[in-house]
Amino acid sequence: MKLLTIDKEPNEAVRDLLGSLLSEGKAAGVLCLTREGDSGAVRYGLITDPERLGEAVPFYPAMPNNAGKLLSAMTLRGAAGDPIAAVVRPCELRAFIEVLKRQQGDGANIITVSSTCPGVLPLKRLVRGGEADLVENYWSAAAQVEPSPDIRQACRACRHFVPGSADFVVDLAGRADLKERTRVFAASEKALSLCEGVEAESGEAELESAEIGKIREARSRVAEESDAETGSKASGLSGIVDFFASCVACRACRTVCPICYCRRCDFEAPYWEYGPRDVETNLRKRGAVRVPPGTVNFHVGRLLHMGLSCVGCGMCTDVCPVDIPVSDLFSNTGASVQELFGYEPGRDAEEKIPITTFEENELSEVER
Amino acid sequence: MKKGYALQAPDGVRKAVAGFLKTCLDKDVFDAVLVCVRSGSACSYVLVQEPSFLDTADCLPPVMPVQGGKAVMSFTRHGKGMRIGALLRPCEIRAAVELSKLQQTVPENISFISMDCEGVIPLSDWLSDPEAAGAADGSGVRELCSICEQFSFCEDDPVGKADLHIATMGVAKDRALLVPVSARGDEILQKLDLTPGEETTGWVEEVEKLRKKRREAREESFAELRKRVCGLDALSEVFGRCLECHACRTACPICYCRVCFAGSEPAGDAAVDYVRRAERLGGSCCLPEQLLFHLGRMSHMSLSCVSCGMCEDVCPVDIPVGSIFSMVGQATQGLFDYVPGRSAEADLPLKKFVLDELEDVED
């Protein structure tokens, strides 16, 4: 694969790449994390003027929104007319591909710049102080094989941190020389034609390296441990009830989930709500009833609806006001079901979502 | 001045109140009671029909996981049901009353039992250490709680449609005063054979004293806040890190719409609109409705905002939503001399047409 080595740290290097795309008219806009000054909010922005690229912080270690969801919203009414370059992490890209399979957007004319991802820091930790230290430690930890203790749990357990279908891949994970040098792979035909204007040392290399392999192993170990822990915590009905005991039904987990695109969620429908008869019946049966009802129903239901496409990004845990590790449960349960079908969300835009295909001979192990 | 019945509380007020609710069930005053219960670090509202549940229930934790008005809506949205005694904080009762005017609750068979509210601890503080959370002097509460004047009532025109009120401020620590507020409140005490014979002057004085302090704190707090959010640029900055998770809206007791204007079909841009907007200044935020969502929500519910602070509590990025909405609510409600939830009969200002009104904004 073609490899460009730029003698700058990653944010600067990618600013150069994005700048060349803009000034050469190869992209009408670039979508990436932006920040006004040193203390402005870090959020996804669309920059059209190369002069404003100074505000771009493409690899700032946060995910205020899953960019896959933003790309979906942006292209829901039709594809981008002119090319837009988007800097997205692997899970954001995979999420975008999953919702494209559900007709929730259009991937045409999107130039994707992804990375071998060292993870992101939880939003609450960044907001509540000590940001400078957290970010500094993040970059030292990014060079290590073992995942940082500071990043989202979802990231610590993520084995899909090497993007499969991006145009450009910036190699971040495990690289010890990021302060001086950034390696950018041109991973598609499109990318090869786009990178001509970038000042860089050009060569050939493999994206998948021994280092990447070790990182994947380390994260798999975390995933195994985490799965076992969550599996025993949330075991059985009482386990699930306990797991979601603090839930305040704010639905933030659903709203930020890139896969949950329904404008009218089933779980807000009137037929789930309690009428006087439901109250009476439930009180008679149980003696005491938690209200508003339907906590576990919502979560298990949502898991059923989107689990097959869960990309394990961890947005849900990040926004939960009562710190329920939603992603631990959703991601690992999602992965188990995906495994049943040999399905990997976001791996391939042509790969159909399992419940949309009928196979006569399937899952015979659960037949009587 | 009303008199109260002295409920003995040798093991603390919370246990005494749980016992009182149990008695109400045993003596068929209510078919069920609504009370906030703690289980470990999880707190939630529970509708209780089985009296023995209250023997061990840890009632009235100093947190508000769900706004009580919303809890009431969750079982009365589709019609009145059994007789329920609902133990709620004043802002929760006021929210339930507002919701009834919006046809989202049918409160006919609900008896509202309010209490002197010391405020609630923010959820994140509670979660980090439930035992240690909240300072003994009451200073570790939600920002909005610390400037709330409507934590009790003791006027002839009660702020909030309570039937019975549990008075604890300015009352000896080994008791609480049950003060009947409405005719239904009188009936409840009668049915329980409890005669209110205690003087309440001490309580009234204490409440007035605290009210005055809170009023001053509120003025100060809002004067500061006004500076922070004055003008579009300042407002954009304060809401700059909003993720549009909409937790504030979902937690809000007044926001009852199942399909909100934000995120609905007509509200959504095409890719070319994103690019055109960005081109105007060379770059723009990818959440085009970020500020519009908040201003829109404000314009929809401000007149009924009860300043409970749920919105601020659930915000994952600590935006002072509650304080801002409360401040604006005070102003919009002031325009119409309207106090949300004070009276079930007072019309929502937007529903009532008055010919001569708001002359100061006419040309």
DSSP state letters, A32-68: EEE-STTTSPPEEEEE--GGGGGGB-TT-S--SS-HH
Q: What pLDDT is attached to residue B265?
A: 66
Q: Of A119, A110, A122, A123, whose CA–CA distance to A168 is shortest?
A: A110
Phi, psi dihedrals of residue B165, rounded to the nearest 5°: -125, 140
- Give me the residues paired with residue B85 across strands: B33, B111
For A241, the closest chain B residue by CA position comes to B42
Q: Please give the average per-residue pLDDT across A45-58, as a whole number.
A: 97
The pLDDT tens digits of the residues spanning A67-93 come to 999 999 999 999 999 999 999 999 999
For B49, the closest chain A residue by CA position comes to A287
Q: What pLDDT is attached to residue A365?
A: 82
The pLDDT tens digits of the residues spanning B137-167 come to 667 899 999 999 999 977 655 556 799 999 9
Question: Does the beta-carbon distance from A291 to B45 stay under 8 Å?
Answer: yes
B261 pLDDT tier (thresholds 50, 70, 90) = confident
Please say whether the beta carbons of A8 and A182 come within 8 A.
yes
The answer to whether B42 contacts chain A (CB < 8 Å) is: yes
- How far, in Å, CA of A155 to CA of A66, rounded? 13
Min Cα distance B156 → chain A (Å) is 33
Question: Does the beta-carbon distance from B316 to A255 stay under 8 Å?
Answer: no
- pLDDT of B295 higher than 90: yes
Among A33, A34, A46, most B C-beta atoms within 10 A, so best to mutate, is A46
- Quick one: DSSP state of residue A322? T
Write down the residue that tokens 């040392």 correspond to. Answer: A201
For B314, the closest chain A residue by CA position comes to A321
Min Cα distance B172 → chain A (Å) is 32
B269 pLDDT tier (thresholds 50, 70, 90) = confident
Of B46, B73, B283, the CB nearest to A47: B283
Q: Of A334, A340, A329, A330, whose CA–CA distance to A232 is shortest?
A: A329
The pLDDT tens digits of the residues spanning A278-333 come to 999 999 999 999 999 999 999 999 999 999 999 999 999 999 999 999 999 999 99
The answer to whether B285 contacts chain A (CB < 8 Å) is: yes
Q: What pLDDT is attached to residue B190?
A: 96
Q: What ipTM is given for this predicted complex?
A: 0.94
Among A109, A291, A297, most B C-beta atoms within 10 A, so best to mutate, is A291
Q: What pLDDT is attached to residue A315?
A: 98
- Give me the residues paired with residue A5 across strands: A183, A201
Give SS3 for A202: strand
Please say whether the beta carbons of B127 and A323 come within 8 A.
yes
Indicate the angle between helix axes A67-75 and A90-100, nearest 10 degrees. Answer: 40
Question: Pairing state of beta strands A43-47 and B283-285?
Answer: antiparallel
For A126, the closest chain B residue by CA position comes to B317
- Within 8 A of A290 by CB-CB distance, chain B residues are 44-47
- Within 8 A of A128 by CB-CB distance, chain B residues are 318
Report percent pLDDT > 70 for chain B. Answer: 96
- Within 8 A of A124 by CB-CB distance, chain B residues are 124, 316-317
How distant, in Å, are the alpha carbons of B104, B117, B150 from that of B114?
A: 21, 9, 11
A362 pLDDT tier (thresholds 50, 70, 90) = confident
Helix (H) or strand (E) segment spanning residue B178: strand B175-180
- pLDDT of B267 higher than 70: no
How distant, in Å, are the alpha carbons of A234, A245, A312, B141 from that of A239?
A: 4, 10, 21, 31
Q: Is B162 exposed, middle or buried, given 0-12, 13-18 or 19+ CB atoms closer than 10 A?
A: buried
- How far, in Å, CA of B209 to CA of B126, rounded? 28
Of B123, B247, B283, the CB nearest to A48: B283
- How far, in Å, CA of A88 to CA of A67, rounded? 6
- pLDDT of B361 higher than 80: no
Q: Is A294 exposed, middle or buried, given 0-12, 13-18 or 19+ CB atoms closer than 10 A?
A: middle
Both tokens assigned to B64: 């508000």
- How far, in Å, CA of A264 to CA of A96, rounded? 20
> Where would I find the beta strands (DSSP E) of A218-315?
288-291
Q: Of A167, A187, A330, whose CA–CA distance to A258 is shortest?
A: A330
The answer to whether B348 contacts chain A (CB < 8 Å) is: no
Tell me what the pLDDT averaged over chain A comes to. 95
Among B274, B314, B321, most A C-beta atoms within 10 A, so best to mutate, is B274
Helix (H) or strand (E) segment spanning residue B114: strand B110-115
The answer to whether B157 contacts chain A (CB < 8 Å) is: no
The answer to whether B50 contacts chain A (CB < 8 Å) is: yes
Answering whether pTM is above 0.90, one says yes
Instruction: Please report, as a single letter, which amino acid is at residue A360.
Output: E
Please say whether the beta carbons of B199 and B149 come within 8 A.
no
Q: Of B212, B206, B136, whose CA–CA distance to B171 is shortest?
A: B206
Q: Is A218 exposed, middle or buried, given 0-12, 13-18 or 19+ CB atoms closer than 10 A?
A: middle
- How far, in Å, CA of B242 to CA of A123, rounded? 11
- pLDDT of B191 higher than 70: yes
Handedness of CA A150, A8, A54, A207 (dihedral sign): negative
Please say whether the beta carbons of B54 and B21 come within 8 A.
yes
Q: What pLDDT is attached to residue A199?
A: 85
Min Cα distance A342 → chain B (Å) is 32
Q: Please give the average per-residue pLDDT across B228-246, as a whole number.
A: 94
Phi, psi dihedrals of residue A281, rounded to the nearest 5°: -60, -45
Give SS3 for B26: helix
Q: What pLDDT is attached to residue B135?
A: 65
Instruction: Please report, as a single letter, which amino acid is at residue B114.
Output: S
For A34, the closest chain B residue by CA position comes to B285
Question: Count of CB contacts below 8 A, A vs B?
Answer: 220
- How far, in Å, CA of B168 to CA of B171, rounded? 5
Please say whether the beta carbons of A156 and A119 come within 8 A.
yes
Of A45, A74, A255, the CB nearest to B245: A255
Torsion of CA A67, B275, A48, A109, to 10 degrees: 60
The pLDDT tens digits of the residues spanning B23-55 come to 999 999 999 999 999 998 899 999 999 999 999
> Where would I find the beta strands (DSSP E) of chain A?
2-6, 29-34, 43-47, 84-87, 110-116, 168-171, 182-186, 201-204, 288-291
How distant, in Å, are the alpha carbons of A169, A205, A209, B123 from that of A185?
A: 5, 8, 13, 45
The pLDDT tens digits of the residues spanning A243-292 come to 999 999 999 999 999 999 998 899 999 999 999 999 999 999 999 999 99
- pLDDT of B136 higher than 90: no
Question: Does the beta-carbon distance from A248 to B317 stay under 8 Å?
Answer: no
Q: What pLDDT is attached to residue B159?
A: 59
Tell me what the pLDDT averaged over chain B comes to. 92
Helix (H) or strand (E) segment spanning residue B186: helix B183-191
